[in-house]
Amino acid sequence: MDARINDYRFESILGKGTFGIVYLVRRKKDLKLFVIKEQYLNIINYSSSKRVLEEVRCLQKLRHPNIVLYHGAWKENDHSYILMEYATHCTLKDLLEKRKIPLQEEDALYLFSQVTLGVHHIHSNKILHRDLKPENIMLTGSRGDIVKIGDFGLSESVLEGKITCRAGSYYYMAPEMLSAQSYDLKCDIWSMGVILYEMITKKLPFPATNLIEITTLIYNCPPQPLPKRTSAPMVNLISKMLRKQSSSRPHVDQLVLCPFLVPYIVRVYLNFGRSVNLAERERENFGPHIFLKFLKPTRFQS
């Protein structure tokens, strides 16, 4: 990519973490807003460069309306820079923290169905996100109801062989990851279950204050009961994503065909169809042929 950091004016810091600093920037030539993730490349420790390369490889493969759009990356003065789309509203975490009460089921499912579609695209490219949480789910659009999954700093290709190391935030880690066993795409499904639980309760299914405590809770206790007002299909959906045995959790292919989610997914698809270029950008993997399958939906395995 033919770009330099001097082409952008830094507006503010959006976040800081182990893997770098995320800035809101404005391109000088047209004043358009973007996000830049900057990371120092330690020439002694190769792991930082390797992590950046893996993130860029994953982002290059992903083009979907529910995934933050990657615009390019470059290296300059021992720093890496990844240029991405700016989601104009807030994060799902911000939304939940601002609210005094949890999301209504219908609103939660509309947002969650977009998370499901985004994860479906990620998994279809044999990529494991490994850090799905409300903080990494951005909201954009005029009403703040369009989901953009971001932060692929911990993403990993599942084609590389067994993965065993812990990664991400432990509140959203699957049991197999917490215990450092080998894991696969199903650990993202667990994270999705925690996210949906949090959306409709503003609480975590396994409340804990440290890694040892949450590991003990997850292995020895069921999730905290959902409120009595929660519909039976919602309880069923969350329960299946939070099954302790990864093999018993649904695949994301099953989630997009879940009869409970189908009406919301169709609604998302119809809304995206009214947006300029979205259908064109994802013609192959987000086209009408997917939704024809909803005529004969496949149910979860018990």
The residues annotated with a catalytic role in the active site are: 131
What are the binding residues for ATP? Answer: 37
Spatial distance between the Cα atoms of 256 and 239, rounded to a whole number of angstroms? 16
Spatial distance between the Cα atoms of 186 and 173, rounded to a whole number of angstroms? 11
What are the binding residues? Answer: 37
* Under 8 Å between Cβ of 82 and 55: yes
DSSP labels, 143-211: TS-EEEE---TT-EEGGG--B-S--S-GGG--HHHHTT--B-THHHHHHHHHHHHHHHHSS-SS--SSH
